[in-house]
Structure 1
Amino acid sequence: MLCLVSPSSSPTPLPPPRRSRSHADRAAPPGIAGGGNVRLSVLSVQCKARRSGVRKVKSKFATAATVQEDKTMATAKGDVDHLPIYDLDPKLEIFKDHFRYRMKRFLEQKGSIEENEGSLESFSKGYLKFGINTNEDGTVYREWAPAAQEAELIGDFNDWNGANHKMEKDKFGVWSIKIDHVKGKPAIPHNSKVKFRFLHGGVWVDRIPALIRYATVDASKFGAPYDGVHWDPPASERYTFKHPRPSKPAAPRIYEAHVGMSGEKPAVSTYREFADNVLPRIRANNYNTVQLMAVMEHSYYASFGYHVTNFFAVSSRSGTPEDLKYLVDKAHSLGLRVLMDVVHSHASNNVTDGLNGYDVGQSTQESYFHAGDRGYHKLWDSRLFNYANWEVLRFLLSNLRYWLDEFMFDGFRFDGVTSMLYHHHGINVGFTGNYQEYFSLDTAVDAVVYMMLANHLMHKLLPEATVVAEDVSGMPVLCRPVDEGGVGFDYRLAMAIPDRWIDYLKNKDDSEWSMGEIAHTLTNRRYTEK
C-alpha cells in the first residue's frame, strides 16, 4: 500500500500536493476476507495468434528474435495449476479456474506477440513505426484506421491539400506514406502543423494523428480546435539528459503535483518554472519522488489531465517536450525520482482533437474502443479501450515505452485501475473484501491481461521502475509479481488515508481522534502486498 506522505521535517513551505479525482466508491476493504465459490468455466485456450491474418514480422523495428527466458516463461513451461500466490493466500485456490484462465490468456497473448512481432520489447517500440518519423531516406507516416476508405496527410507543409500526399492501406488497416526529403531536408519541417484526413461514408474528416508528440491550440480563439504539431527539432535544440536515474528507494515518499497549478501567479505554470522553483523545495522537504499529474495532452484543462486527447503529446500549456525533459533531468540531479500519472483506463470523448475521432461507427475490432454501451463510461463521460485488440495493445504498451525511453520517467501511477478491473467499473459497488467480488464474470480479464503485460514489460525494460495502481476495490494479488500469478504492480495507492485525514480535520475535535482507527487506516493492506 502506498500513500502520498509528508515527511516529518518541513523546512520549506510547499504548495499542497494535488489529489486525483474521486471514484464512485472509495470503500476501504479489509486486508484478507473470506473467499467464495464462484468459478469461471475454463475455456480451451490454444497458444495461437488471435488476430485475423496474422503474419510473421521481420521488421527493422524488431530488436531481437530470441527472447531470453525469464520467470514468466518458466511459469509457462511449468504448472499453472499451482501458482505461488496460493502459498501466500490458500483461500485463492477456490478461484483456481479463474487464475488458470487468466494466466493462460496472458501467456497466449505474450506468445502471439513474440511470434509475430519478434518480442514484447519490439512490439512496444510502435512509436518508432507509427505516427510521423523521419529517417535518412525521408519522412514516413503510418496510421491505423481500418474504417477509412481513403486517406491523406495534410498540413501547412502542403497548404492543407493532400492531393499529392495520398496514403496506401495494407490488409491490417494501416495507412502509410513515405515523403522523400527536399534538397536534403525533411519535407515536413520541425514545428509544422499536420492532420490526418480520411474518407468514411462519403465524408472527409480531419483528425490529429494518433501518435502525435505535440499539439497546440490558438488560445486567443474561443473553442478553437487543437492542431497536431510535428515535433522533430534539430540536434542543437534537442534536450540532452545529463543525469542518471536515482536508485529506487526502499520507501518512496511521494509529492504529487500538477505543474500548471504549482505557481504563485494566477497563470498556468511551466515545466521549467516548476523545475527551477518547486523541485528544490520538494527535495528540501525530504521527499524522494515526484508524481506528475496532467502530463499527457488534454484539451479540457478542468479535467486535471484525466480526459486525455493525445496520449503521446506533452501538455502544451506548460511547455514543449524539451521543457519536460529539462524538468525530469533537473529532478534526477536533485536525487528525485519522477513518476507519471498515466491514464489508460479511458480516453476523452472529444472527436476533433482526440482519439475518439477515429471511431466512426465501425466494429469493436476495427476501433480503439468497444462499440455500444460497453465503450462508454457513464460517470466519466469518456471512451473505454478494447484491451483485447492487437493494435490497442501496441498503442498502449508503446505509450508506456515512449514515456520511459524518451523522457526518462522512473515509473507510473496507473489511474482508474478499479474501473479497468471490472465490467461494472466499480460504479455503485461497495466492496466488502469478499473474494466473490473480485473473481467472477464481472472481472474484466482483457484489461487484467493488459496490465499484466504492461507490468511485465516495464519491469523488464527498467527493473527499478515503480508502478502504482490506483485501486479502491482491494483486489487480491494486484501487487504481486506476474510470474507468481499476480497483476504485477509494486504498490496500491492508499486512497482511504487522505480521506480519513480530511474527515478528522473537518469534522472531529482533537479529543475525538481514534488512534486505533488511524492505525488501522495506515496499516490496512493485504499480507505481502504494499
Structure 2
Amino acid sequence: MNDNDILQAVAEARWHAPHDVLGLHNNGSARVVRALYPLADSVTVILPGGNRAPLSHWTEGIWHGVVPADTTAYEIESVYDGVVAVADDPYRHLPTIGELDLHLISEGRHEELWRVLGAHVRTDAGVDGTAFTVWAPNARAVRVVGSFNDWDGRKHAMRSLGGSGVWELFVPGAGVGTTYKFEIQTRQGDWVLKADPMARAAEVPPATASVVTASSYTWSDAGWLSARAKQEPSHAPMSIYELHVGSWRPGLGYRALADELIPYVTDLGFTHVEFMPVAEHPFGGSWGYQVSGYYAPTSRFGTPDDLKYLIDRLHQAGIGVIMDWVPGHFPKDAFALARFDGQALYEHPDPRRGEHKDWGTYIFDYGRNEVRGFLVANALYWLDEFHVDGLRVDAVASMLYLDYSREDGEWEPNIHGGRENLEAIRFLQEVNATAYKRHAGISMIAEESTSFPGVTAPTSQGGLGFGFKWNMGWMNDSLRYISTDPMYRGHHQGEMTFSFTYAFSENYVLPISHDEVVHGKGSLIARMPGSHEQKLAGVRSYLAYMWAHPGKQLLFMGQEFGQMSEWSESRAIDWYLLEQPSHVQLSGFVGDLNRTYRGLEPLWLRDSDSHAFRLLGAPSYNNDVIAFARITQHGSVVSISNFSGVTVAQMPLDLPRGGTWQEVLNSDAKTYGGSGVGNYGVVGADENGRAVVTVPALGTIWLQHVG
C-alpha cells in the first residue's frame, strides 16, 4: 500500500499498525504528534506544565504538529461544536505485553494466560487506564469499543503484535466497570463484534458485553490450603453435595448463598460442594454447560470477588469446593467464541471434528497450541484465582472419541486409523499434569462414561491423569435395580454386585447427579416402588449401600430430603417437603450417614484397593441381601443391605473376624422413620467370624468391629 492508502486505512481505523502513524514520532529533526479526531473544530497538545501546541488538520481527520524535542508525556484537547474534551493519547504508549509472553502464547505454554490477555487495569507511563489484548490471528484489523468511547471504535484501533496473532491497545481513563467488546474486521472485510474470550467479568445476560474488573479480595483460607496440600484425596473421606446456584434458593447471590449454604451443608455433613458450571453462559436453560465466558464467573449472582467470598467462607467452614468445568464444547452464539475472527479459530475447522451434532455446538481445536493453552490456563485460573479444590470435567467421553455420536462416514480416523482423538487425549493429560504440579491436594474428576483405559492412571504411565472418574456403570445399574419391584429384585442382584468386579480399576466417584433427575427420569425417591413410607425406606437403604460401596459419593440437591418432583432450573427445589416429618427424618439420616462415614476409616482410606474389600455371603446366601466388608489395618466395617420387602431375621453370615461388632448405622431406625428392626446394637461372632444377623426390610445396616 502507498502512503495515502495507509493514511486512509488509519483514518478509518482499519490499519493493523496504527501506532506507526499516530502518537509521538521523530520526523527528521523535529518531534511530532499525530492524532485522529475526525470532524473536530480544533485539536491541541497540552504539555506538562500547561504549555500548548496546536495541531493542524493533515488528512482524513488526522491532525499533526510539532512539539518540543524532549516531549514524552502529553494530553490532547479536542473541540467539537464548542465542547472541549481532554484525554491522554493511547498511541503514545508502548505495548503492555512482552515478547516472552507472546512466545509462550504461540507455543500454548502460557500457564497464566489470564494475566496478559483480556482487559487489565494498570498505570502506564504515569497514566491510569486499561490494557486491552486479544488473540485474533485471522483479523485484518481490530478495534476496542465500549462505554469509554460511546461504542465507536474509530479512535481506538488496536495494533497487531506480529505473527503471534495478538492485538493490543492501552486506553487511558478506562477503568473498573467499563463495558467493552472487540470489533474485528475479517479477511472478507466484514466487521464482527465479539465479547472478550479472556474477560474476567461480563454483563448480566441477556446483555453480552465484557466488563473490566480488578480484584481487591483478601483471602482468609491459608490454613485450608496448607492442609489440603498435605492430603491425598483418594485416601480421604469425600461426599459431595452437587447444586445449581440459581435454583438452590432462587434470588441468592454468591455472598448471601454463603450464609445459607454453609450451615445447611455443615449440618448434612458433606465434605464438599460441587457447583454446576458458574462460568458465564448466555442461556440459563443450558445449566451453564454452554459457556461463552470461560474466565468470567456468571454475573447473575454477583462479581468475581463475591464468588471468592463464597469459596473462602466454605473453606473456613471446612468444606471443599469442586467446580464443573466444560472444555468439551462451546455454543455458536455470534457474540462469543464462534468463528471469532471471521473463521474457525477456537473450534476445529473440519465439521467432522469441530461440531457436536447432538448439542448444536462447536468443539475446540485441541491440536492448536493457542487453543490448548487457552483451556489449560483456564483450568489453572479457577484453581489459582478462586482457590477451588477440584474441577469436574464435563463430557470427557465426547472428547476422547472421534466417532462420538457419529455415524459411519461422519468422522475421520486419527493418523493411526483409530477412533481416539489423540489431540484431545494429549490436552487432557497436559491439563491434569499441570494442575497437579501447581496445586497439591486438588481433585481433577472425569465424567467419562466408557471403558477408556487409564482415566485415573498417571500420565507418566500413559494414563489421562485424572484423580477420579465418575462411575457411570454403577449409577446406571444400581438405579435400574432399585426401580425394580422388591419382589423381583432377587433375580437382578447382579446389577448391584457387578460393579465390585471393576470397582478398583480406577479411582471412582459414585454419582447421583443432576442428570439423573431430569428428562423424564424422575427423582431418586420417585424411582422407588411401593408406598411413600417404602419409598423413603428404599432411599435410606440405597444411600447407606452407596456410602459403603468403594468410591466417593455425590448427591444432587433435593435428594437429601426426598424431593418428589424432577429438578428444573427455573424454580427452587421442593423445600416445602421439609415441613413433613418423614422428609425431615430422611435429611437427618443423610447427616448421620455422612458423619458416621467420615468417622469410619475403612470406608474411605483404601477405596481403590481390592485387598481392602471382601464380598460376604457364606454360609447363608440370600439373593435379596448384599453384604460386603471394608477392611484396613485399623479396623473393619461390614455393610449389609436387604433390598427385599421382607425382614431377613437370624441370617447366618461369616464376618471377616470374630468378636463383637457394633451396629453403627441402621437405615430402618425409628429416628429415621423406620420400623426399628435391628440387632439391638451389637452382633457377636465366634472365633471363625460366624454370626447371626437380622436385616430389616428395605434396610441397610453397618457393623463395626469393636473387639
Please indicate, yes or no, whether the TM-score normalized by the shorter chain is above 0.5. Answer: yes
Q: How does 1:351-430 map to 2 (within 5 A)?
A: 351-352=334-335, 354-358=336-340, 360-362=342-344, 366-426=345-405
The aligned residue for residue 561 of structure 2 is none
2-structure distance, mates of 1:132, 1:510: 63
Q: How does 1:428-507 map to 2 (within 5 A)?
A: 441-507=418-484
Q: How does 1:211-290 map to 2 (within 5 A)?
A: 211-217=198-204, 224-232=206-214, 235=216, 238-243=217-222, 244-245=224-225, 246-247=227-228, 248=231, 249=233, 250-263=236-249, 267-290=250-273
Contact in 1 for aligned 2:121/2:175 (Cα 8 Å): no
User: Relative contact order, CA 8 A, sep 6+: which one is greater?
Assistant: 1
Contact in 2 for aligned 1:169/1:175 (Cα 8 Å): yes
Q: Residues 449-486 of structure 1: CA distance to partner in whole angstroms, max 9, x if unpaired? A: 00011011001001211011111112111110111111
Structure 2 residue identity aligned to 1:332: H
Contact in 2 for aligned 1:377/1:384 (Cα 8 Å): yes
Q: Secondary structure at the match of 2:163?
A: coil
1-structure distance, mates of 2:178, 2:104: 32
Q: Residues 259-284 of structure 1: CA distance to partner in whole angstroms, max 9, x if unpaired? A: 11111xxx343222332112322222
2-structure distance, mates of 1:510, 1:59: 71
Q: How does 1:77-156 map to 2 (within 5 A)?
A: 117=104, 123-137=110-124, 138-156=129-147
Q: Residues 51-86 of structure 1: CA distance to partner in whole angstroms, max 9, x if unpaired? A: xxxxxx975659xxxxxxxxxxxxxxxxxxxxxxxx
Q: Secondary structure at the match of 1:317?
A: helix
Contact in 1 for aligned 2:255/2:306 (Cα 8 Å): yes
Q: CA deviation at 1:385?
A: 0.5
1-structure distance, mates of 2:184, 2:251: 35
2:183 corresponds to which of 190, 197, 202: 197
Residue 524 (1) aligns with residue 502 (2): yes
Structure 1 residue identity aligned to 2:213: W
Structure 1 residue identity aligned to 2:452: M
2-structure distance, mates of 1:299, 1:483: 39
Q: 1:298 to 1:335 in 2, by over 3 A?
A: same
2-structure distance, mates of 1:134, 1:350: 28
Structure 1 residue identity aligned to 2:375: L
Q: CA deviation at 1:162?
A: 1.4
Contact in 2 for aligned 1:58/1:118 (Cα 8 Å): no
Contact in 1 for aligned 2:220/2:316 (Cα 8 Å): no
Q: Secondary structure at the match of 1:330?
A: helix
Q: How does 1:292-307 map to 2 (within 5 A)?
A: 292-307=275-290
1-structure distance, mates of 2:429, 2:113: 19
Q: CA deviation at 1:386?
A: 0.5
Q: Residues 153-180 of structure 1: CA distance to partner in whole angstroms, max 9, x if unpaired? A: 1100111111221111133353433326
Contact in 2 for aligned 1:191/1:232 (Cα 8 Å): no
Contact in 2 for aligned 1:262/1:274 (Cα 8 Å): no
Structure 2 residue identity aligned to 1:144: W
The aligned residue for residue 53 of structure 1 is none
Contact in 1 for aligned 2:348/2:354 (Cα 8 Å): yes
Q: 1:278 to 1:120 in 2, by over 3 A?
A: farther
Residue 162 (1) aligns with residue 153 (2): yes
1-structure distance, mates of 2:154, 2:143: 7
Q: CA deviation at 1:231?
A: 1.3
Contact in 2 for aligned 1:342/1:412 (Cα 8 Å): yes
Q: 1:522 to 1:350 in 2, by over 3 A?
A: farther
Q: Secondary structure at the match of 1:402?
A: helix
Q: Secondary structure at the match of 1:323?
A: helix
The aligned residue for residue 314 of structure 1 is 297
Which has the larger share of strand?
2
1-structure distance, mates of 2:506, 2:291: 34
Q: 1:428 to 1:523 in 2, by over 3 A?
A: farther
1-structure distance, mates of 2:178, 2:99: 28
Q: Secondary structure at the match of 1:172?
A: helix
Q: CA deviation at 1:335?
A: 1.1
Q: 1:426 to 1:336 in 2, by over 3 A?
A: farther
Q: CA deviation at 1:520?
A: 2.3
2:325 corresponds to which of 326, 337, 342: 342
Q: Residues 208-234 of structure 1: CA distance to partner in whole angstroms, max 9, x if unpaired? A: 01111111246xxxxx5411111125x
Q: CA deviation at 1:290?
A: 1.4
1-structure distance, mates of 2:238, 2:110: 30
Q: Which runs of 5+ in 2 are unaligned?
A: 1-96, 409-415, 509-707
1:176 corresponds to which of 150, 167, 183: 167
Q: CA deviation at 1:505?
A: 4.3
1-structure distance, mates of 2:265, 2:496: 26
Q: CA deviation at 1:420?
A: 0.4
Contact in 1 for aligned 2:105/2:164 (Cα 8 Å): no
Identity among equivalent positions (%) equals 29
2-structure distance, mates of 1:481, 1:452: 9
2-structure distance, mates of 1:121, 1:170: 17
2-structure distance, mates of 1:191, 1:240: 22
Q: 1:427 to 1:195 in 2, by over 3 A?
A: same
1-structure distance, mates of 2:116, 2:214: 15
2-structure distance, mates of 1:144, 1:192: 20
Q: Secondary structure at the match of 1:356?
A: coil
Q: 1:361 to 1:188 in 2, by over 3 A?
A: same
Contact in 2 for aligned 1:268/1:317 (Cα 8 Å): no
Contact in 1 for aligned 2:403/2:419 (Cα 8 Å): yes
1:330 corresponds to which of 300, 313, 327: 313
Could you say what the CA RMSD is over the residues aligned between the two structures, in angstroms? 2.9
Contact in 1 for aligned 2:393/2:445 (Cα 8 Å): yes
2-structure distance, mates of 1:373, 1:486: 26
Contact in 2 for aligned 1:271/1:324 (Cα 8 Å): yes
2-structure distance, mates of 1:152, 1:230: 16
The aligned residue for residue 188 of structure 1 is 174
Q: Which runs of 5+ in 1 are unaligned?
A: 1-56, 63-115, 182-186, 219-223, 430-438
Q: CA deviation at 1:508?
A: 2.8
Q: Residues 326-381 of structure 1: CA distance to partner in whole angstroms, max 9, x if unpaired? A: 111111111111111100011111112x211505235xxx4443333421100011
Structure 1 residue identity aligned to 2:153: G
Q: Residues 5-24 of structure 1: CA distance to partner in whole angstroms, max 9, x if unpaired? A: xxxxxxxxxxxxxxxxxxxx
Contact in 1 for aligned 2:119/2:199 (Cα 8 Å): yes
Q: CA deviation at 1:523?
A: 5.8
2-structure distance, mates of 1:343, 1:127: 17
